[in-house]
Amino acid sequence: MNREQAIQILKKYSPMPDDEDLTEEMIDEYAKAIIYFEKNPHPSCIEPIMMTFSLDDCYGVYEHATCVLREFSNEEVIPHLIRAIQDKHEGRRYWGADLAKFFPDVRLVSSLLTCIDDPNDEIRGYVAYALSKIGDKSVLPILHNRLLKKRDEDVCEELKQAISKLERLK
């Protein structure tokens, strides 16, 4: 397999079907492309990998894909991460918000804030955690306001932790 073949496989699965619709062949083909980029990292894989994410976890292969992405710099990943976080596709937002914790950068703040009221509780929790990692105190009023909406205990706990961490920053 070469780079172009691996990218074509990623584009073929953009996004991946939900786990219950995956075949063993699909998972194997996708995993081979991810393994290729693990062994042959190249920035050209960043966007195609992010575009494959669906709401499920592809039987653990997405975790492996996120490890590939974590090997790249903020400069290489942030533009693609911003697009993933703002994407209409819930799976891309989910994985983008989760990945943001590994790339703490103030450039992510506005895109993360677009998901602060996401219908998906996990996305909202990931957003709060990522914002705490970024450390931009300007988001404190927004986090406080979000906490007042109390819809999910886990998200509220994540918000409280984020607020506490940001308030301790000097």
Cβ(104)–Cβ(70) under 8 Å? no
The whole-chain average pLDDT of the chain stands at 94
Closest among 15, 10, 96 to 54, alpha carbons compared: 15
Per residue in 35-45, pLDDT (tens digit) is 999 999 999 99
170: confidence class by pLDDT, cuts 50, 70, 90: low
- CB neighbour class for 10 (10 Å; exposed up to 12, middle 13-18, buried from 19): buried
How does pLDDT run across 87-122, given as a tens digit for each residue?
Answer: 999 999 999 999 999 999 999 999 999 999 999 999
Query: In the prediction, which pLDDT does 23 show?
Result: 95
